[in-house]
Structure 1
């Protein structure tokens, strides 16, 4: 993957989130830094992001530096984002993830049907109604409440049944957020709305990013031309 412009841009996004000077090692492996303000993970947790064959790790306090450096020395970068393998190396108390990280650009993007969606502002009452109509976990995980782009929606009558947008992240990323109501899933609506959001991000010279925690979401990303380049994992260490 050396010299891959998509890989370079994806890494830049996560370097901006780290909250401290850090780099993905050119020779592979992991670089561990202390960053109490890291956005790779919740406050007080360890954040691990692998992109390509290298990883960056942020720890909330100096006392965890040696713990994670030893783990990074004993495991390949990809294994650091595998909860089962990581547990064998460090005392993990809680885990968030892993989530795969997929990206696309103008070369890989597979557009959906143009003009198949309606555009509404972020925070529109119909978007709030959609979020209130699904299980709380779905509403929280999809991220639509925090989008900074317009929302691209499909309706069934007057009811919004699928929506997507993106959060504008540091590093010039468009972090894509998508949600379909449970009784309308399996009809390809997620691909339609997410395709519109992705096209908008590309038109604004942003890097579309897709973070997925389950296979159905990954299939939508791959159908739109996203490529899996990395994995994100957050862990809380015992003690």
Structure 2
């Protein structure tokens, strides 16, 4: 049985982020391990990632792992990254996500033609990016995480102001975690797709695997328009 190369790379990333030996089962199922230093979730939380019909879960302690392992045994794999389904079997205090995990290969990428709109390249630390974050509000700016990018920023200006921007942060396993942000009054005009396309083009040219992690439907639609395929989801929970 052949395995999707994109899925193999995506799974390798999250296995690395788990910070302890763990693998997505080739026959499905859920693997729960103890990893206080897990990169799947904030410190002290439980991280859950489902990719291609298999899941890995990290817990901060052995006691938490036993609780989580017993509880998730009652769920189908597809429900492991669902906030409501997990709340139904575990005492959950706080939740981050779920977020869809999408990836694209060079042959599946559908770039936006260059030139319209004009996309400019800036330093990832350029002050104009901070202005975009300010007008976008803390919640949207926090979701995008533009301040974390290690790539150049790809931006669209209007009236001299940056109204949309995208870039990526290099993650382990040669992954490019894409960040995209558009000012509220400029949404729905294709600017996220244009700037995101420029960022993904840059990442693919560097031999990286672009990752698009999104919760809101609008962001997910942009990724799908660019050729990304949703392969799974991520959820982080703090046990009550």
1:95 is matched with which residue? Answer: 95
Cα deviation for residue 71 of structure 1 reads 2.6
1:52 aligns with 2:48: no
2:8 is matched with which residue? Answer: 8
**1:11-90 aligned within 5 A:** 11-90=11-90
**1:80-229 aligned within 5 A:** 80-115=80-115, 116-229=118-231
Residues of 1 paired with 2:87 and 2:136: CA distance? 33
Find the residue that maps to 2:136 and give its secondary structure: coil
Q: Which runs of 5+ in 2 are unaligned?
A: none
Structure 2 vs 1, CA of residues 73 and 2 (structure 1 numbering), >3 Å: closer, same or farther?
farther
Residues of 1 paired with 2:45 and 2:61: CA distance? 9
CA deviations on 1:196-228 (whole Å, 9 max, x unpaired) are 000110000000000011100000000000000
Q: Which runs of 5+ in 1 are unaligned?
A: none
Residues of 1 paired with 2:160 and 2:12: CA distance? 41
Cα deviation for residue 157 of structure 1 reads 2.3
Q: How many residues align?
A: 238
Residues of 1 paired with 2:73 and 2:223: CA distance? 32
Q: In the alignment, is the contact (CA less than 8 A) between 2:46 and 2:239 conserved in 1?
A: yes
For normalisation by structure 2, the TM-score amounts to 0.96
CA-based RMSD of the aligned residues comes to 1.1
Residues of 2 paired with 1:126 and 1:135: CA distance? 15
Q: In the alignment, is the contact (CA less than 8 A) between 2:149 and 2:179 conserved in 1?
A: yes
Q: In the alignment, is the contact (CA less than 8 A) between 2:72 and 2:89 conserved in 1?
A: no
Q: In the alignment, is the contact (CA less than 8 A) between 1:29 and 1:72 conserved in 2?
A: no
Cα deviation for residue 76 of structure 1 reads 1.9
Q: In the alignment, is the contact (CA less than 8 A) between 1:29 and 1:73 conserved in 2?
A: no
Cα deviation for residue 74 of structure 1 reads 2.1
1:237 aligns with 2:239: yes
For normalisation by structure 1, the TM-score amounts to 0.97
Cα deviation for residue 67 of structure 1 reads 1.2
Structure 2 vs 1, CA of residues 129 and 152 (structure 1 numbering), >3 Å: closer, same or farther?
same
Cα deviation for residue 26 of structure 1 reads 1.6
Residues of 2 paired with 1:29 and 1:214: CA distance? 27
Find the residue that maps to 1:148 and give its secondary structure: coil
Stretches of 4+ aligned residues off by more than 4 angstroms? none
Find the residue that maps to 2:66 and give its secondary structure: helix
